[in-house]
Amino acid sequence: MDIRASKSESEKAARRIGIVMFGVTGRMGTNQHLERSIAEIRSEGGLRLDDGRLFPDPILVGRNEEKLRELAAKYGVERWSTDLDSTLSDPRYEIFFDASATNVRVGAVKRAIAAGKHIYCEKPTATNLADALELYRLARAKGVKHGVVQDKLWLPGLRKLKRLIDSGFFGRILAVKGEFGYWVFEGDWQPAQRPSWNYRKEDGGSYILDMFAHWRYVLEGLFGAVKAVSCRGATHIPNRVDEHGKPYAATADDAAYATFELDRNIIAHVNGSWCTRVRRDDLLTFQVDGTLGSAVAGLRRCYIQPRAATPKPVWNPDIPQTIDFFAGWQEIPDNDPYENAFRAQWELFLRHVAQGEPFPWDLLAGAKGVQLAELGQRSWAERRWVDIPELKV
């Protein structure tokens, strides 16, 4: 049943593209992919192409009938279903999007590839490298287009950082320091901000598996190829309380402290934890130090300090510090409009499917993220540096 009263003239004129949106009842699926990406594109009458407009026509698929019905009504989506196989067999839908829990992703994506759907999915694409590579090989053999969400590349703060790099602002880049995380409540006296499966290894949970997929594409998208990793993970909070008030053992790591060797002898150190309280500019910050200047980028803002404006501190712990180290930084202005990072990549993938524009963030890129997580876990287990070999596909 069509819950909208009427269709706009622009929508009627647009080319329709069907999307199976699987697992969008979760936090990220609802907020970022449905509300701030697909629903926004639809509200504007579709995505502008070279020869007209493309109008996304999703069907929401999941297990919870009540949630699906509520989401469909809220966002003006005409169809929803709890039967994945029937939607995959429907020729009206060209694209399969997966935002489900990590441990069910491989099975769902395989079924979608077999049905001939183009694939767009969240990361990590699998819980192990063998499965991640299999998805890439299956998609390539089937001849379908495929992509993986790598949203942080479109964050305003990191886009400003990329512009600084491309302009030569840093000179020779020496090191990168990343700080990520926040306190995820244990679930006893305040509800947790993340689902409980994130903390159960048997359900696909793991900080390293989740976040190293991000660090791979961020580091390589900005600074250069990752050559080696040294990682120490931890499960700082061993017991938590789930969404139903039931205590459970946290079997997955909830933090990791890692050093990465990159191209051109750049050293990147990234601390990440769901058990840390924030006293920095943002939930995620990257400081980049170079011979000609430094920068600190968060999710949206970016600050710089060039060589000529660098203060000259002198170590003397016996007197109060006279330099205000925060005062000597200049904020990069918002010279460009920045749309939602998830939407930005959705638009690129839709153009990739509709008119063949390049889209390098494919299932092989997703497999590289899983590879880094797997080798980070090996480094932790074996207490040593681990080299990152080139993937053989």
24 belongs to a structural domain = yes
| pLDDT, tens digit (0-9, with 9 covering 90-100), for 183-221 | 999 999 999 999 999 999 999 999 999 999 999 999 999
Residues 90 and 108 in one domain: yes
Q: Is residue 392 part of a domain?
A: no
Q: Range of 242's domain?
A: 152-342+369-386
Indicate if 158 and 129 belong to the same structural domain. no
Report if residue 122 sits inside a domain. Answer: yes
Condensed to tens digits (0 to 9), the pLDDT of residues 133-191 reads 999 999 999 999 999 999 999 999 999 999 999 999 999 999 999 999 999 999 999 99
Shared domain for 40 and 115, answered yes or no, is yes
pLDDT band at 13 (very low <50, low <70, confident <90, very high): confident
Domain-embedded: residue 4 = no
Position 6 scores a pLDDT of 42
* Residue where a domain terminates, one of 151, 167, 192: 151
Q: Which of 89, 118, 151 lies at the terminal end of a domain, its last residue? A: 151
Mean pLDDT of 38-59: 96
On whether residue 159 sits in a domain, the answer given is yes
CATH number at residue 104: 3.40.50.720
187 shares a domain with 136: no
Asked whether residue 123 falls in the same domain as residue 193, the answer is no
What local confidence, expressed as pLDDT, does residue 8 receive? Answer: 54
Please count the structural domains in the chain. Answer: 2
Q: Is residue 146 part of a domain?
A: yes
140 and 161 belong to one structural domain: no
CATH number of residue 216's parent domain: 3.30.360.10
Report the pLDDT value the prediction gives residue 115, as an integer from 0 to 100: 98
In tens, the pLDDT along 327-347 reads 999 999 998 889 999 999 999
- 50 and 160 co-located in one domain: no
125, 256: one domain: no
Is 21 part of any domain? yes
Other CB atoms closer than 10 Å to residue 340's CB: what's the count? 17
Considering the domain architecture, whether residues 29 and 129 belong to the same structural domain is answered as yes
Instruction: Flag whether 1 is in a domain.
Output: no
What is the band of 2 on the pLDDT scale with cuts at 50, 70, 90? very low
| Whether 166 and 117 share a structural domain | no
Same domain, 45 and 146: yes
Domain end among 93, 118, 151: 151
**318-328, pLDDT tens digit by residue?**
999 999 999 99
Furthest CA-CA distance within the chain: 75
Per-residue model confidence (pLDDT) at position 14: 85
Residues 111 and 163 in one domain: no
64-80: pLDDT as tens digits: 999 999 999 999 999 99
pLDDT at 10 > cutoff 80: no
